[in-house]
Amino acid sequence: MRPELFDIIAKLEPGAGDEIQLTDALSISARDASLAGGVVGVIFNGERYDAGDKLEYIKATVRLASKRADLGPELNTWLKEFSKEI
């Protein structure tokens, strides 16, 4: 992000969830590139996680940790045992 984007963010009113939304600032910059240099996009092919939602954050943490070589085997064993308890 270019530093000028923070000038836009500072002027925003709270949006969804009564929070200041970065997407609102990006939308403004996309409409008027002179404000913060515009927006550049990338096509992303992969899993996307919403860390702004408590449950989705936990799911992402568990899913990513389960794939790690140093954590995955032990975590996955524990998850299998834990799933029998619930």
pLDDT tens by residue, the chain, 86 residues: 788 899 999 999 998 889 899 889 999 999 988 888 888 889 999 999 988 899 999 999 999 999 999 999 999 999 999 999 99
Q: What is the DSSP string of 22-74?
A: HHHHHHHHHH-HHHH---------S----TTSHHHHHHHHHHHHHT-TTTHHH
Residue 45 lies in a domain: no
CA distance 86 to 76: 16
Residue 49 lies in a domain: no
Residue 75 lies in a domain: yes
Residue 78 lies in a domain: yes
Range of the domain at 70: 54-85
Question: Domains in the chain: how many in total?
Answer: 2
